[in-house]
């Protein structure tokens, strides 16, 4: 008997992977959590049936959400990640020597426990001594933080359940206040091909607060349409520019200096979404 897993990505399109089996599945207070083992992507973390990360292609997402803002900032010392319970973004952040503290604000402790147990190659950075893990709603924490962080990374689930509030203009206003006066924020903002209106609205929400707002793209095979967007807001430094005298050499598989610059080059249909 063959096992196949399908994530329904739109009303009419699904991604189907041949599976070796289900390694775990449980219902937490917030969501349905599962890890399946697939032939093409290896182990895959699913939340409410949606692919969050896979062992095979996680490097693209995690490197691009972390190294673009961290290399655009001249001296990132204190960084917050909202969501990100799998640990992949933290693993990339702690590659930067300038970082003194990385705070992970994850609402669901069971995502962290699952990742530690089933995805150790992704969760490994969580044990770095500079990392502080807070099991909390990122919205409330950011609202209470003022002038605190150099970089804030919103590594959230899609805008459903507790993540809905992470995609609102009010939240981006709180992020602005929580950043220092040369701070930078970035959020994962879905597929511009399947979700153009969401990409546009998020861009406008960030742009309502940040003087410099840009979109950049990466190719992530397991995410819907493969073409993924990140919206970045900066108070002072152009995020398309590497604002380091000498960028620190990083061990990466997708990100490099050329990719940093090229990611901001937008195809016409995406550029039109973020035109005033
Ligand atoms: N890379 C992923 C993607 O784009 O699909 C996101 C991965 S990470 C697992 C997303 C995490 O955001 C989940 O573990 C979820 O529990 C967390 N999350 C959702 N809403 C949150 C909130 N308001 N505060 C903190 N964490 C939240």
| Pairing mode of beta strands 32-38, 14-27 | antiparallel
Question: Of all protein residues, whose CA lies closest to atom 17 belonging to ligand 1?
Answer: 83
Nearest CA to ligand 1 atom 12: 83
Ranges of H-type helices in 26-148: 58-72, 88-93, 109-118, 120-123, 138-144
Pocket test for ligand 1, best of 86, 90, 156 (most atoms within 8 A of CB): 156
CB of 188 closer than 6 angstroms to any ligand 1 atom: yes
Q: Where do the domains of the chain lie, and which CATH numbers do they carry?
A: 3-52 (2.30.140.10), 58-274 (3.40.50.150)
Q: Phi first, then psi: give them for residue 122, nearest 5 degrees.
A: -95, -40
- Neighbouring residues of 137: CB distance < 8 A, sequence distance ≥ 6: 105, 107, 162
Q: Long-range contacts: 213-216, Cβ < 8 Å, 24+?
A: 213/274, 214/239, 214/240, 214/264, 215/189, 215/264, 215/266, 215/270, 215/273, 215/274, 216/64, 216/68, 216/240, 216/263, 216/264
From CA 187, how far away is CA 138, in angstroms rounded?
Answer: 13
Q: Is the CB of 107 under 6 A from ligand 1?
A: yes
Rg of the chain, C-alpha, whole Å: 18
- Which pLDDT tens digits describe the chain residue by residue (276 residues)? 899 999 999 999 999 999 999 999 999 999 999 999 999 999 999 999 999 999 999 999 999 999 999 999 999 999 999 999 999 999 999 999 999 999 999 999 999 999 999 999 999 999 999 999 999 999 999 999 999 999 999 999 988 888 999 999 999 999 999 999 999 999 999 999 999 999 999 999 999 999 999 999 999 999 999 999 999 999 999 999 998 877 778 899 999 999 999 999 999 999 999 987
Is residue 166 in contact with ligand 1, taking CB distance under 6 Å? yes
* Maximum C-alpha span of the chain: 59
Indicate if ligand 1 lies below 6 Å from the C-beta of 44.
Answer: no
| Pairwise CA distance, residues 276 & 263, whole Å | 20
Q: What pLDDT does 137 receive?
A: 96
Write out the two tokens for 61: 């997402």
* Residues 219, 57 contacting (CB under 8 angstroms): no
Residue 192 CA to residue 270 CA, distance in Å, equals 7
pTM value surpassing 0.95 = yes
């Amino acid at each position: 008997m063959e096992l196949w897993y399908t994530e329904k990505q739109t009303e009419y399109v699904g991604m189907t992977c041949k599976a070796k089996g289900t390694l775990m599945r449980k219902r937490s207070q917030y969501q349905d959590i599962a890890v399946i083992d697939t032939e093409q992507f290896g182990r895959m973390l699913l939340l409410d049936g949606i692919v969050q990360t896979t062992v095979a292609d996680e490097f693209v997402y995690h490197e691009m959400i972390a190294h673009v803002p961290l290399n655009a900032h001249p001296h990132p010392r204190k960084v917050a990640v909202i969501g990100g319970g799998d640990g992949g973004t933290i693993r990339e952040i702690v590659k930067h020597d300038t970082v003194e503290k990385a705070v992970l604000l994850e609402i669901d402790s069971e995502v962290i426990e699952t990742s530690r147990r089933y995805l150790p190659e992704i969760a490994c950075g969580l044990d770095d001594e500079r990392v502080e893990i807070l099991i909390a709603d990122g919205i409330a924490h950011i609202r209470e933080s003022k002038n605190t962080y150099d970089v804030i990374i919103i590594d959230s689930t899609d805008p459903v359940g507790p993540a809905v509030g992470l995609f609102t203009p009010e939240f981006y206003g709180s992020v602005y206040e929580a950043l220092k006066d040369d701070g930078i924020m970035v959020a994962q903002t879905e597929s511009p091909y399947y979700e153009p209106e969401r990409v546009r609205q998020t861009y406008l929400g960030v742009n309502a607060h940040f003087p410099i707002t840009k979109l950049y793209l990466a190719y992530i095979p397991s995410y819907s349409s493969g073409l993924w967007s990140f919206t970045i807001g900066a108070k002072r430094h152009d995020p398309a520019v590497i604002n380091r005298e000498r960028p620190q050499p990083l061990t990466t598989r997708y990100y490099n200096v050329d990719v940093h610059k090229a990611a901001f080059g937008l195809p016409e249909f995406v550029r039109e979404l973020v035109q005033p």
